[in-house]
Structure 1
């Protein structure tokens, strides 16, 4: 038997998978492609798939709320999830948007969730109890090293995001956020990259560390320049090269 499962499956859909689509093949594909479990033998992978929970979530539903007991690691199989942290003003600010293959939740024995996880479109989310993940890590050193690498990568990405968003104009920050989202959730369409997720100006501003009003004005300038277009429930990157130049200038 080969070390890895040879699944002739198509790429995961970037968004809008109905809850009913969260079936065996979707769950197994997501686990197979997750960097954390890439080194897992086939028999263990199949056993793990049988122990996960994978309910379908409708747009706007919460996976968990800040302050609740942290007990699972989650993997986005299809759809999109946003993570929100409580702000000093009593509301919640978006800190990250996740797409297929991204993981969230906890790998440790953290007592409580530090953020709220909410789905942005109908999604399939895999939940794996921490005790199950830790059991896999104990039996497979390569998987444990993958977990370490993933945590280190998350930390590095956080540092890079903070550095990128701590300087520069509102246009530059918004351009950087949109490029990042396009890598996770973008769908090529007639030379453009479509982001078919409900991303409000408040959400965009929170991720870019600017006010909603500044985010709205920045988007308007980017549209006037011909880099993006947008509507009520969608954003389109019209000229990715131009947007990249703005983000890195």
Structure 2
């Protein structure tokens, strides 16, 4: 998972015929959590997994619900978030093709620690707990991949917590914009189409939509960015980097 990730298409599996929908095994093979596992293990897990489609805005799961499966993203984008008693929402991470999410509940058998919702129409591979735990017993090397994945999640949430405390809103928005460009364009470009509304961006930095709109307008007036609808172009990377470090 990434702090903010756009719909990047996963590499095609050579066993999938051109024009055909990818099999569950083909998707798992391109998922970072399962990288390096042998074909026999992936094929067996793929036979036990299933595909599910979610519409834009549809809930994948809610915080507190029993966690009996993990998800691998075939296409689309999913956000993971927590909600306060007042209904305020904070986006913790997003998951796109190549990402898996929901694995934490499979390990501690607790309820979901966050909610998940499709930001856009999404197709997900669902792997149930029994199949996943069986695979861990058969392929202990998966534990290392799982630890790396969970470690990355802890680092991102720690980083986000630090930002909420130590960066002002302008700094948090600047850092978010740099993340969006880095993850969606792979660092090769400074222009992207943002798959999020300004309300979504606000939930990622712990602010209101109106405040984020004002900050974006101020960045545009200062010549840092060019924002038209959901098309974002960063004009002054150095200025945003400086603002994100303040």
TM-score bucket (shorter structure): 0.7 to 0.9
State the match for 2:16 in structure 1: none
Confirm or deny: 8 A CA contact 2:82 2:114 kept in the other structure. Answer: yes
Counterparts of 1:1-249 in structure 2, within 5 Å, are 11-12=9-10, 23-25=21-23, 27-106=24-103, 107-186=106-185, 192-200=190-198, 202-232=199-229, 234-239=230-235, 241-242=237-238, 243-249=240-246
Q: Deviations along 1:139-191, whole A, 9 cap, x unmatched?
A: 112111111121112111211221133222322100111222333444899x5
Confirm or deny: 8 A CA contact 1:71 1:109 kept in the other structure. Answer: no
1:131 and 1:184 mapped to 2: Cα distance? 33
Q: Deviations along 1:213-234, whole A, 9 cap, x unmatched?
A: 32222111122223333355x1
TM-score, length-scaled by structure 1: 0.79
Three-state SS of the structure 2 residue aligned to 1:63 is: strand
TM-score, length-scaled by structure 2: 0.80
Say if 1:22 and 1:36 are closer, same or farther in 2 by CA, change over 3 A. farther
Three-state SS of the structure 2 residue aligned to 1:76 is: strand
1:22 and 1:116 mapped to 2: Cα distance? 31
User: Which residues of structure 2 form unaligned runs of 5+?
Assistant: 1-7, 12-18
User: Which residues of structure 1 form unaligned runs of 5+?
Assistant: 1-9, 14-20
State the match for 2:4 in structure 1: none
Three-state SS of the structure 2 residue aligned to 1:197 is: coil
In angstroms, what is the RMSD of aligned CA positions? 2.7
How many equivalent residue pairs? 229
Confirm or deny: 8 A CA contact 1:85 1:92 kept in the other structure. Answer: yes
Three-state SS of the structure 1 residue aligned to 2:74 is: strand
Say if 1:162 and 1:93 are closer, same or farther in 2 by CA, change over 3 A. closer
Three-state SS of the structure 1 residue aligned to 2:40 is: helix
